[in-house]
């Protein structure tokens, strides 16, 4: 399962359907562009609470998944722990794979 999620995240990055980082994701969520919010397990509790509250207020689906280092390597980011998928189809497929685990 993990390989599929990794591949989908890589495809989302290459196609421009992935936003990363705290401020960028908040901006995209407020613009209603994010379809799926992925938070890593190793974020601080305060950050996780803030992002979950924002996601709930804006009706954005979210999941807590993986570690910052792993997902950052997959997406070519520098130590990011917050990822937003902006394409509906990518969001559906990645959500389905995360929920299988």
Count of other CB atoms within 10 angstroms of residue 97: 19
Q: Residue 26 is part of a domain; what is its CATH number?
A: 3.30.1330.30
pLDDT in tens, 26-52: 999 999 999 999 999 999 999 999 999
Binned at pLDDT 50, 70 and 90, residue 19 comes out as very high
Binned at pLDDT 50, 70 and 90, residue 71 comes out as confident
pLDDT in tens, 81-100: 999 999 999 999 999 998 88
Mean pLDDT of 58-85: 89
Structural domain count, the chain? 1
The C-alpha atoms of residue 100 and residue 72 are separated, in whole angstroms, by 22
Does residue 23 contact residue 76 with C-beta atoms inside 8 Å? no
Mean predicted lDDT score pLDDT of the chain: 91
pLDDT, position 2:
67
Which domain range does residue 47 map to? 2-100
């Amino acid at each position: 399962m993990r390989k599929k999620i990794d591949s989908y995240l890589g495809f989302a990055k290459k196609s421009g359907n992935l936003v990363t980082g705290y401020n960028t994701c908040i901006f995209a969520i407020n613009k209603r562009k994010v379809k799926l919010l992925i938070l890593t397990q190793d974020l601080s509790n305060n950050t996780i609470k803030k992002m979950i509250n924002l996601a709930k207020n804006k009706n954005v689906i979210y999941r807590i998944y993986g570690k910052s280092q792993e997902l950052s390597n997959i997406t070519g980011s520098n130590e990011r722990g917050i990822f937003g998928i902006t394409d509906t189809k990518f969001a559906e497929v990645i959500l389905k794979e995360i929920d299988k685990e």
